[in-house]
Amino acid sequence: MDRVRTGIGGFDGLVEGGFPAGSNILLTGLPGTGKTIFALQYLYNGAMNGENGIYVTLDESFEMIKEQAKQFGWDFDKLEAEGKVAFISVRLGRTKLDIFDQIREARDKVNAKRLVFDNLATYAVNLDLFTIPVGYAGSIASTVEMTARGIESGGNLLAEKGDKIYYTGNMEKRLIYLIVEHLSRLGTTNLVLTYGNPDLNQLTIDGVSEFACDGIVEMFNQLVGAKHVRTITVMKMRNTKQSPYINDLEITGQGLVVKPVEKVYG
């Protein structure tokens, strides 16, 4: 199996050398746990090694994200000018956005092999702003076409021109499956950022993307005594023998470094 190396120090060894090519990897953790830094490092290392990428942001402007990257010496302006990365900043507040049109255009423009989606929880919270294309082959498309037909009478979803639906009611979980399916159809290896409620033992607020994705990485920033300690763990990785450990994580001047655990595979 082809592996997509993140190039993040100490991480790839936890997952047999990298993410399975073409997979959707969910990266979950509370605000400030380092998800955006992880994602930037993944794209930067890819672009520097011939694997171009796209950063889709719903949370912050791409200017802020590029500024963050500069702290670690990652010059995304240069990579963008060289056609190696593309940023898509989704402006919430407009309705009926079909972000997949923009994503496919950017993918073709830079010949992207990697994609970051930052973040799915924001998408889930704002579902009613988006349209979701259903014009793909396969079971999901027929499910949704059927759903859209059922819904015309049921009143939860509205079909547009027969090929698009948008959310108006309580179809949230099904639509999150659909968005993950659309991401996997792009042909890129995707890092999908999100968060859950740890008090409720939730990995995600939507409650389904952890099942729909091929892998789950969780990041923590927990108070231990008088100090916040950063850790990272691999919860799930299809077709991979994964490290069972919770690993210490440091944010250094060069980005994230996962501290080696004495014995990686128990």
Ligand X SMILES: Nc1ncnc2c1ncn2[C@@H]1O[C@H](COP(=O)(O)OP(=O)(O)O)[C@@H](O)[C@H]1O
Q: State the residues that interact with ligand X by CB under 6 A.
A: 29, 31-37, 71, 251
User: Which is nearer to ligand X, 53 or 133 (by Cβ)?
Assistant: 53
Furthest CA-CA distance within the chain? 59
User: Which is nearer to ligand X, 20 or 215 (by Cβ)?
Assistant: 215
Contacts with 61 (C-beta within 8 Å, 6 or more apart), sequence order: 89
User: Which is nearer to ligand X, 24 or 57 (by Cβ)?
Assistant: 57
Q: Applying CB under 5 A, which part among 17-25, 35-43, 105-113, 216-224 lies near Mg ion?
A: 35-43
Question: What distance in Å separates the CA atoms of residue 103 and residue 106, rounded to the nearest whole number?
Answer: 5
Q: Applying CB under 5 A, which part among 19-27, 33-41, 182-190, 226-234 lies near Mg ion?
A: 33-41
Question: What distance in Å separates the CA atoms of residue 255 and residue 244, rounded to the nearest whole number?
Answer: 23
**From the CB of 106, what's the least distance to Mg ion, in Å?**
20
221 forms bridges with which residues in the sheet?
A: 230
User: Mask: binding to Mg ion, 107-126, rule CB under 5 A, as x and -?
Assistant: --------------------
Residue 33 interacts, among ligand X, Mg ion, none and using kind-specific CB cut-offs from 5 to 8 Å, with ligand X
* Residue 57 CB-half CA count within 13 A: 17
Rg (CA), the chain: 19
Which tokens belong to 33? 């746990």
Question: Considering the rule CB under 5 A, would residue 36 count as an interface residue with Mg ion?
Answer: yes
Which of the 8 DSSP states describes residue 259?
P
Q: Applying CB under 5 A, which part among 36-44, 180-188, 198-206, 257-265 lies near Mg ion?
A: 36-44
User: Which is nearer to ligand X, 35 or 107 (by Cβ)?
Assistant: 35
Which of the 8 DSSP states describes residue 119?
-
Residue 181's CB is within 10 A of a number of other CB atoms, namely 19
Residue 155 interacts, among Mg ion, ligand X, none and using kind-specific CB cut-offs from 5 to 8 Å, with none
Q: Which residues bind Mg ion (CB under 5 A)?
A: 36
